[in-house]
Amino acid sequence: MRKTWNRSTSSPEFYALLLLALSIHSVKMRTTLISGIDDLELLGPLLQRIADDYLSAEPEMVRRYARAIKPYMAEQTSVTAHRIVDLMHEAGIPHDVVQLLYGEGEEIGTNLTSDERIDGVVFTSPVSTGKWINQVLANRPSPIIPFTAETGGQNTIIVDSSALPEQVVKDVLVSAFDSTGQRRSALRVLYLQDSCVDNIIELLTGAVQELRVGDPLDLSVDIGPVIDAEALLRLHSHVDILDREAKHIARTPCEIADGNYFSPCCYEIETITELKEEHICPVLHVIRYNTGDLQQIFEEIRATGFALTLGIHFRNETMVDYISENVPAGNVYIDRNMIGAVAESQPFGGSGLSGTSPKADGPNYLTRFTVERSISDNIAAIGGAIDLIGGQGL
């Protein structure tokens, strides 16, 4: 794709923003939790592609045209962000191409998005903040700029009786509780067909109780802390509501008194409409259904407005196609877990309240940061000042 671009028809600032899009956006998306150390492995293919395709091929373009770009990351992950940006600089990305700005997100975000020198915004965070940024950019008197957002999702897995229960439980545990349930792609709602629900819940209960909560530096630990005290408070508030209004299924034992630790848990609810907002936490909501309910389930999922990830555990390919066609989702996972999209091979991103297109790491992503021009030349034109043709008279 790089070889098809023409410098004369692309704004120089966008080449710098291109590097920002490929690096900072993914760094922020993958490091929402400092304790998620293994998440950094996902950056390998991404940084390698930057080095191979851009820095080594056109270093003068980057150094000559790049403007100062000051991305910011969630203040809770400043140490992780600092180290990754350091690695980018060590790899050869110029300091004036990628710069890191520290501070509170609300203050920095306001100043950045309202500054008319900003030529594009790549964003990952809650949908409410995404809407706010969109409004700020729309109200700027300066030209319209690209805005690429990845927010979250009310992500679901739908399971029927043809699925292997042990595989379902394994994939559900990873999807719902890996990275303490704080991935944007994490499982929030599990639909279980009535003919298999009791068996799977029994297996799930036993598996959840076997998880271990603690310091993620301990390799025997399965679940680390949530990102901060504020997130923990929101999580407790949500669970208090579930304790009153839902049916408790299982909870992981946890005896740690200090720190932002929370025991993963499962609750049975009646419908996804009971969840008024996205809850980024290690809480799994389970819903029973029968085959005749599928159309209603599709409608309720669509009504949430989210369209990020969808899991399907069916052995019937016709039903798999039927579900994937009726449930909006940017990424559909069949008979597997629904997290850990791999750069390039599984472009990640959603639509609606889950974000904008194009997908990060997808084949159309880079074009979002270019400027297209069309030149029409009437080569059959005749007449004019003949003596000026070929530069004569200039």
The predicted structure's pLDDT at residue 112: 82
Same domain, yes or no: 205 and 90: no
The domain in which residue 294 lies consists of 156-334
- pLDDT (average), residues 53-72: 38
In a domain, 342, yes or no: no
Question: Is pLDDT larger for residue 238 or for residue 24?
Answer: 238
Flag whether 192 is in a domain: yes
pTM over 0.85: no
Model pLDDT, residue 392: 55
CB 265 within 8 A of CB 247: no
In this prediction, residues 75-80 reach a mean pLDDT of 76
Q: What is the pLDDT of residues 154-198, one digit of tens each?
A: 999 999 999 999 999 999 999 999 999 999 899 999 999 999 999
Quick check: 104 pLDDT over 90?
no
Tell me what the mean pLDDT of segment 33-61 comes to: 33
* 23 and 119, same domain (yes or no): yes
| One domain for residues 122 and 239 | no
Residue 347 included in any domain: no
pLDDT in tens, 107-131: 777 888 888 888 888 888 788 888 9
Please say if the pLDDT value at position 207 is more than 90: yes
Question: Are 197 and 307 in a shared domain?
Answer: yes
Q: Are residues 72 and 101 in the same domain?
A: yes
377 lies in a domain?
no
DSSP, residue by residue, 283-328: EEEEEEE-GGGHHHHHHHHHHT-EESEEEEE-S-HHHHHHHHHHS-
Summarised one tens digit per residue, pLDDT across range 130-145 is: 898 899 999 999 888 8
Q: Domain for residue 243, yes or no? A: yes
Q: Residue 103: pLDDT above 90? A: no
Burial letters 348-382, b for 16+ CB under 10 A, else e: bbbbbbbbbeebbbbeebbebbbeeeeeeeeeeee
Phi, psi of 137 (to 5 degrees): -65, -35
The verdict on whether omega for the bond into residue 282 sits within 30 degrees of 0, i.e. cis, is no
Q: What is Dmax (Cα atoms) for the chain? A: 91
> 36 and 170 share a domain?
no
65 and 6 within one domain: yes
Identify whether 124 is part of a domain: yes
**Would 394 be classed as within a structural domain?**
no
Question: What is the per-residue pLDDT for 113?
Answer: 85
Confidence bin at 71 (pLDDT 50/70/90): very low
Same domain flag for 133 and 208 = no
- Looking at per-residue pLDDT, the higher value among 275 and 28 belongs to 275
CATH number of residue 199's parent domain: 3.40.309.10
As a whole number, the mean pLDDT across the chain is 80
- Please indicate whether residue 269 or residue 16 has the higher confidence score (pLDDT): 269
Query: Does 56 or 389 have the greater pLDDT score?
Result: 389
**How many domains are contained in the chain?**
2
pLDDT at 95: 81
In whole angstroms, what is the distance from residue 141 CA to residue 41 CA?
41
Q: What percent of the chain has pLDDT over 90?
A: 48
Q: Which of 102-111, 135-144, 246-255 has the highest mean pLDDT?
A: 246-255
Average pLDDT for residues 75-88, to the nearest whole number? 79
No. of helices (H) and no. of strands (E), the chain: 11, 11
10 Å CB burial of residue 170 (0-12, 13-18, 19+) is middle
Average pLDDT estimate for 356-362: 82
How confident is residue 84, by pLDDT bands cut at 50, 70 and 90? confident
Section 367-392 average pLDDT: 79
One domain, residues 18 and 72: yes
Residues 104, 174 within the same domain: no
> For the segment 278-319, what is each residue's pLDDT rounded down to a tens digit?
899 999 999 999 999 999 999 999 999 999 999 999 999 999
H or E segment and range at residue 53: none
Q: What local confidence, expressed as pLDDT, does residue 30 receive?
A: 30
Q: Is residue 375 part of a domain?
A: no
Asked if residue 160 and residue 145 are part of one domain, the reply reads no
Q: Do both 27 and 56 map to the same domain?
A: yes
